[in-house]
């Protein structure tokens, strides 16, 4: 049988009763849904990324300047270049292939 | 091993640990989903959507969490903003779904329920239904005060409103609920 509480205490009694009988809502895949919907955390900020690239480029240039035998290399450079149309076409193809590969690699974050 | 909230939060922020965040979700999903059910007239689908959105926003905002307030309070603040935002959009679009439909309902009377119905389960639903008659901020303040037993200062912080407003919301909300739930009878325990 139900009891009729006094009006003054009704609200507090009702909520006290609700507090003590609060059901545990089972996960049932809720956490999985939340985790699946989480966004990818952004990597380094743009300026940090650019700064790191610049620093390593400068470092590479400094190392190359220090260790590369530039005098000997200069001697190896031919003064006259004779190139046939077929060679030129092959060279153009290779350069295009290299450029295409570099573009693909950068766009797909393979490097 | 039981880690504190702060340890889990640090793990999420520093290592982007989804495992740690999953633990936080598991820890708070039930009370948060229950609260949102209370605040949406026991609309389970809507409450779960809002809870999911709350956790996602919490994940994004976690690097900015300074630990000044309890994690649960911080989470409730996000949930409250989500709820407000949802109802504002719904009202603007006049999409009368869920709680908006129910706002015209009459007072809640437990005498109409079948006797075999689980009394306590019905209590939760009826409280939620009665709460739909209140304004969003009144509903949240009353829920935090009566259900989560938050102090008025905590409610003020969560809802980002002055302490005096919290007191007014609670007093007026209680008066309204008293009328709405006047016929509700508590079962003998």
Q: At B189, is the pLDDT very low, low, confident or very high (cuts 50, 70, 90)?
A: very low
- Which region among A62-71, B73-82, B132-141, B168-177 has the lowest average model confidence (pLDDT)? A62-71
User: Can you read off the two tokens belonging to residue B63?
Assistant: 């690097």
pLDDT of B187 strictly over 70:
no
| Burial A47-56, CB ≥16 within 10 A → b, else e | eeeeeeeeee
A18, A36, A37, A42: which to substitute to probe chain B, counting the most B Cβ within 10 Å? A18
pLDDT at site B116: 41
Q: Closest-CA residue in chain A for B33?
A: A25
Residue B77 makes CB contacts below 8 A (sequence gap 6+) with B69, B157, B158, B159, B160
Determine the pLDDT at residue B180.
Answer: 87
Chain A environment of B16 (Cβ under 8 Å) = 41
**Closest chain A C-alpha to B157 CA, distance in angstroms:** 22
pLDDT of B20 strictly over 80: yes
**CATH number of the domain enclosing B11:** 1.10.1740.10
pLDDT at B153: 94
pLDDT of B24-55, one tens digit each?
A: 999 999 999 999 999 999 999 999 999 999 99
How many other β-carbons are positioned within 10 Å of the β-carbon of residue B172?
A: 15
Give the separation between CA B162 and CA B156, rounded to whole angstroms: 6
User: Cβ A22–B124 below 8 Å, yes or no?
Assistant: yes
* Residue B178 neighbours by CB under 8 Å, 6+ apart: A7, A10, A11
Give the span between the Cα atoms of A96 and B3, in whole angstroms.
56
Residue B47 domain-assigned (yes or no): yes
Distance from CA of residue B131 to its chain's centroid? 11
Indicate whether B40 belongs to any domain. Answer: yes
User: What pLDDT does residue B16 have?
Assistant: 87
Radius of gyration from C-alpha coordinates of chain B: 18
From the CA of A28, how many Å to the nearest CA of chain B?
Answer: 11
pLDDT over 70 percentage in chain B: 84
Domain membership flag for residue B92: yes
Average pLDDT over residues A47-68: 89
Between CA A9 and CA A14, with CA A12 as vertex, the angle to 5 degrees is 100
User: Is A2 strand, coil or helix?
Assistant: strand
The pLDDT of residue A42 is above 90: no
Top mean-pLDDT range of A69-73, B10-14, B112-116: B10-14
The answer to the question of residue B189 being in a domain is no
CA distance A42 to chain B (A): 10
Residue B62 lies in a domain: yes
Please answer yes or no on whether B146 and A12 come within 8 Å at the CB atom. Answer: yes
Chain-chain contact of A5 with B185 (C-beta, under 8 angstroms): yes
Residue of B22, B29, B56 to mutate, testing the A interface (most A Cβ within 10 Å of its Cβ): B29
Chain A: give the shortest CA distance to residue B120, in Å. 7
Radius of gyration of chain A (CA): 36
Domain count, chain B: 1
Structural domain boundaries enclosing B52? 5-180
Q: Do B174 and A39 touch (CB under 8 A)?
A: no
List, in sequence order, every residue forming a beta bridge with B186; answer none if it has no partner. Answer: A3
Q: Tell me whether residue B186 is in a domain.
A: no
């Amino acid at each position: 049988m139900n009891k009729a509480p006094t009006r003054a205490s009704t609200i507090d009694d009702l909520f006290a009763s609700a507090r003590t009988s609060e059901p545990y809502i089972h996960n049932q895949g809720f956490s999985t849904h939340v985790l699946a919907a989480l966004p990818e955390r952004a990597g380094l900020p743009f300026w940090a990324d650019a700064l790191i690239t610049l620093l390593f480029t400068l470092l590479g240039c400094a190392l190359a300047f220090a260790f590369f035998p530039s005098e000997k290399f200069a001697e190896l450079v031919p003064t006259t270049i004779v190139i046939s149309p077929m060679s030129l076409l092959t060279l153009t193809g290779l350069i295009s292939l290299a450029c295409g590969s570099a573009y693909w690699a950068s766009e797909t974050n393979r490097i | 091993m039981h880690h504190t909230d702060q340890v889990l939060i640090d793990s999420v922020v520093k290592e982007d640990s989804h495992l740690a965040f999953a633990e936080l979700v598991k820890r708070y999903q039930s009370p948060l989903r229950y609260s949102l059910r209370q605040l949406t007239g026991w609309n389970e689908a809507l409450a779960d959507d809002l809870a999911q959105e709350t956790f996602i926003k919490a994940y994004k905002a976690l690097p900015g969490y300074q630990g000044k307030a309890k994690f649960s309070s911080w989470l409730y603040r996000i949930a409250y903003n989500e709820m407000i935002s949802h109802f504002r959009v719904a009202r603007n679009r006049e999409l009368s779904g869920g709680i908006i439909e129910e706002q015209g309902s009459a007072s809640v009377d437990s005498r109409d329920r079948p006797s075999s119905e689980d009394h306590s389960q019905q209590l939760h639903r009826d409280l939620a239904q009665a709460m739909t008659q209140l304004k969003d901020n009144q509903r949240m303040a009353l829920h935090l005060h009566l259900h989560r037993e938050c102090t008025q200062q905590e409610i003020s912080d969560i809802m980002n409103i002055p302490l005096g407003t919290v007191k007014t919301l609670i007093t007026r909300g209680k008066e309204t609920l008293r009328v709405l739930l006047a016929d509700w009878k508590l079962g003998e325990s």
